[in-house]
Amino acid sequence: MADETYDVIVIGAGPVGSYTGYLLAKEGLKVGIFEKNTAIGKDVNCTGIISTECFTKFNLSQDIVLKKIHVIKAFSPSGDFIQYQSSAPIAYVIDRSLFDNTMNRMAVEEGAVTHVNTCAEEIVSTNGAFRIKVKTGEEKREFKSKVGILASGFELSTLRDVIKRPRKFLYGIQTDAMMEHVNTVEVYFGNTIAPGSFGWVVPTGGGSTKIGLIVKESPLSFLNSFLQNPLVKKRLRSSDKNMKCSLIPFGSIPKSYAERVVIVGEAAGQVKTTTGGGIYFGLLCSEIAARTVLKAFHCGDFSARIFKEYEANWKTTIEPEVKAGIMLRNLLSRLSDSQIDFLVDLAKSDGILPNIKISNFDWQKDIILSLSRHFISKKLSGR
């Protein structure tokens, strides 16, 4: 049987893959989107927090919003906290499944075809085409296109021969729970909670919350311990025993392009290294990828030389933020609990909060550098 043909094949129907497919289909290209799960947005492990900037830039619908966030509380290991409050929403907690489906529907309405329950088992860029072998149930099929977009998320097993992974990664783990008195996002720091990182309690409406953390190792053990934290446990009414754990890339991949291929989103390491969030940076890089692919079709040139521009442009856009986040995490990993307590006290009394309040939810490099210089000047290493 002859290969089924598209102009562009997108592997992965998450928001980044679907949005890339939407942008290309909108310009008249024949796009096929391939999703290994049986449904769009199934089993997503994400807190669903997106910034107001992201919400506005991509003209997202209020229908996907579960809760508007006006206040963020950051707790020190001792239980003390600092609070940032804004009259306007700082961010939104969204329904990720609905969001993913909305983005995919946009692509389909522009003519893209989505294949669910279809796992890409092999991909090859050779003989003037991008080719994939897929499996749907027991059926195997082959497709080809002029260009392939890899937006399959960050996984160690899938397409490992094609995507060179970042050398480091973190674990993001969370569970759903019912809690009392959770009206805003809560962030928890401490070496017994999440060494060098943080835990969170995020309200999703009606008493429902997401409780989770990011760690380098032993995610299940740390989450179980966090659920026993007095500040959490005393408000906990019930928790879902289903704990979802996923890998988060810690830095970008060595190369996000090849002949007829571009890699987008978490698969390329396009993630905020401060929070582990990948939606906004992924969507921004999706736009850069789509522009580069459209240029390739306009020129009739699908060589690595053309797609190298994609990598140069996305790295210019977000890599300074990625590196700043890595620097911040390296700094946090060297702090003791008493030093973290001191920082919270310092932020309350030393004029730091005004600087935090003017910082951008997504673009954090400048505030990270400013705070790092400030804290270093206080000679914290001697505490």
The tokens for 207 are 């008493």
**CATH homologous superfamily, domain 4-44+97-166+249-326:** FAD/NAD(P)-binding domain (3.50.50.60)
| Interior angle at CA 91, CA 327 and CA 291, nearest 5 | 75
Tell me what pLDDT residue 136 has: 87
- If you ran DSSP here, which 8-state letter would residue 69 be given? E
CATH topology identical between 4-44+97-166+249-326 and 49-95+171-248: no
Say if residue 358's pLDDT is above 50.
no
Q: Under CATH, what is the fold of the domain 49-95+171-248?
A: D-Amino Acid Oxidase; Chain A, domain 2 (3.30.9)
Q: Does residue 5 contact residue 147 with C-beta atoms inside 8 Å?
A: no
Phi, psi of 160 (to 5 degrees): -65, -20
Name the percent of the chain lying above pLDDT 70. 88
Q: Does residue 196 contact residue 336 with C-beta atoms inside 8 Å?
A: no
Say if residue 209's pLDDT is above 90.
yes
Average pLDDT of 145-165? 75
Per domain, the residue ranges of the chain are: 4-44+97-166+249-326, 49-95+171-248, 334-382
Largest CA distance in the chain: 72
Mind listing the pLDDT tens digit for each residue in 245-268?
999 988 888 899 999 999 999 999
Mind listing the pLDDT tens digit for each residue in 82-138?
888 888 898 999 999 999 999 999 999 999 999 999 999 888 887 889 999 999 888
